[in-house]
Structure 1
């Protein structure tokens, strides 16, 4: 009679001992193995490593001197120890979907860990609860929690359909900024950090500060505080860094290597980082040589300046049409004129001492903020109001 089925060696990392014994019993029933040969069949099929372990557990006797039920009980007490089961269940409860894992890969990983936990009749419920709680997509979680009488199979079916919908191509949003690539830093979060990724040397190390938590929940509570106090920008939570990269707590920019200490100053910097601004020359409809700078007496509205081209070299060449140039709006409050405006070259500077009193009281308008000031105070005004601010706590300033 031909043998039915195949009995592989026992592998503790892939299968529980109880499940393996069930397969052995089914194999012996299918092949009509006699009761006197059950011990020999089990010892032959279990493999060298399991047999060596059994010999150590039954010394000074030999495994063949034990009955089938005794061998099963001895190995079950070893492989399915309650303390080991608690440890496996703890590992199972820590499983969450990694950002680079699909729903199918996440389900396979959960099933592998659950097989070692001896859940018994509550196997399906434990899988369903861990699956829903560990999902990366919060919208999918809310959708599953709204289901009545949700089973594990139904939860997987809904999650797969939502994942497939999310992967459909979407129209890119139009933007006026040429966004720079993001410089990823451990303090930049797009979602809550996974504690398992920061487990080092028996503790959970915070990516933002020197704090080390002994328990998973303590790490989550601590990092939630960082995210709650972070600066939000373009879908990122930028937390304050207290690592020794600087002497004071600081923020790391998303687009450049600059670090800033003050929260308000950093929020302004990251919102207008130079790496995210478009090029003015590339977006200009006219070449730079055609722009004319407006003088202090320019009208407040845009004016058309007509510039005549040079005379044609010969009578056979038709004259070129005049070039129309758009002059930027000035901040000087003078009446607007519909007539074309031409600009004369600025007058030469007067020598020192001429009309000193008149020059002292001469008013000018700041082209950046529109503030009226004395001409002698223009330089000081620009240094105080419009010069780029320098962080005095940077390392360059302290050295």
Structure 2
């Protein structure tokens, strides 16, 4: 027969096991309740995307102040900057191009409305139209006659020459850009500083970059000289 101490110890074990079983059952009931609630709850709707802000308008094309290639490059950069979908490019272009350019489109599509075409079709025909409307002889005359202005830097003169060359149809290729060859030769012919001309002519088949380096060096020297001339003297 068990002693009173042994009976008390057995009672403690039974009581502890009963408490553990009660806690386990309570935890299981809690999980079942959560699963049931999740099953009965309506599904969470997907997040609604925030609409992108409306793209601002783009300026109308003005042939008196800009060239067509410049305009179309900036317009397409506007499309990218404001995430305008490709399906909306044509409508956006027609709405913003202005009446002058729209009249050109109407003439180029005499039997259909420009809005019925694709964006690529409209831009391709405009590219051809403006390319064919350039007077190449006149453009080359302006190119070859351009001299550096009395207050113009060599870098500014070079940029002006590069801009004029885009209308001169210098599209031949001899292992290097034909436009670069023409710019190099025009600089050699029209540069005001005879020392630069002599250096260009002394080199055999020099590149445009080598000529640009000479111009940059001369600009630096001119700037240093002008600074020296205007700096007041220091007297002791």
Shared fold (TM-score, shorter chain, > 0.5): yes
Are 1:32 and 2:88 an aligned pair? no
The Cα of 1:146 is off from its aligned counterpart by: 4.3
Match of 2:186 among 115, 118, 130: 130
Judge conservation of contact 2:134–2:167 (CA < 8 Å) in 1: no
Identify unmatched segments of 5+ residues in structure 2: 1-51, 172-176, 230-236
- What residue in structure 1 maps to residue 213 of structure 2? 154
Instruction: Give how far 1:103 is off.
Output: 2.5
Residue deviations 1:120-143 (CA, integer Å, cap 9, x gap) = 654444433323322122122223
CA contact (8 A) 1:16 1:115 kept: no
Partner of 1:58 in structure 2?
109
Written as runs of structure 1 = structure 2, the 5 A alignment for 1:1-399 is: 1-2=52-53, 7-81=58-132, 84-98=135-149, 100-104=150-154, 105-117=156-168, 119=170, 121-146=177-202, 149-151=207-209, 153-164=212-223, 167=226, 169=229
Hey, what's the Cα distance between the residues in 1 that align with 2:147 and 2:110?
A: 43
Question: 1:91-111: per-residue Cα shift (whole Å, max 9, x none)?
Answer: 21221234x343355345324
Classify the secondary structure of the residue corresponding to 1:110.
Answer: helix
> Structure 1 or 2: larger strand share?
1
Shift in Å at residue 54 of structure 1?
A: 1.8
C-alpha separation in 1, matches of 2:90 and 2:96:
10
Q: Which runs of 5+ in 1 are unaligned?
A: 170-399
Contact 1:103 1:159 in 2 (8 A): no
Compared with structure 1, are the counterparts of its residues 6 and 149 closer, same or farther at alpha carbon in structure 2 (3 Å cutoff)?
Answer: farther
1:249 aligns with none
Change (3 A) 1:5 1:126: farther
Distance in 2 (alpha carbons) for counterparts of 1:57 and 1:135: 43
How much has 1:162 moved relative to structure 2? 4.4
Conserved 8 A contact 2:180-2:208: no
Return the alpha-carbon distance in structure 2 between the equivalents of residues 131 and 55 of structure 1: 42
Distance 1:82 1:11 in 2: 15
> Aligned pair count?
168
Q: State the shift of 1:79 in Å.
A: 0.9
Q: Taking CA–CA contacts closer than 8 Å with sequence separation of 6 or more, which of the two structures ends up with the larger relative contact order? A: 2
Deviations 1:346-385 (A, max 9, x none): xxxxxxxxxxxxxxxxxxxxxxxxxxxxxxxxxxxxxxxx
Are 1:16 and 1:116, in contact at CA under 8 Å, matched by a contact in 2?
no
Question: 1:40: how far off?
Answer: 0.9
Measure the CA separation in 1 of the matches of 2:131 and 2:167: 9
Structure 1: distance between partners of 2:59 and 2:212 = 29
Determine the C-alpha separation between the residues in 2 that align with 1:154 and 1:2. Answer: 46
- Tell me the distance in 1 between the aligned counterparts of 2:188 and 2:220: 15
Distance 1:25 1:127, change over 3 A: same
Q: Deviations over 1:123-174 (max 9, x none)?
A: 44443332332212212222344465451542430231343466565xxxxx
Using the size of structure 2 for normalisation, the TM-score is 0.56
Q: Label 1:107 to 1:5 Cα distance change in 2 as closer, same or farther (>3 A).
A: farther
The structure richer in helix per residue is 2
Structure 1 residue 71: Cα displacement: 1.2
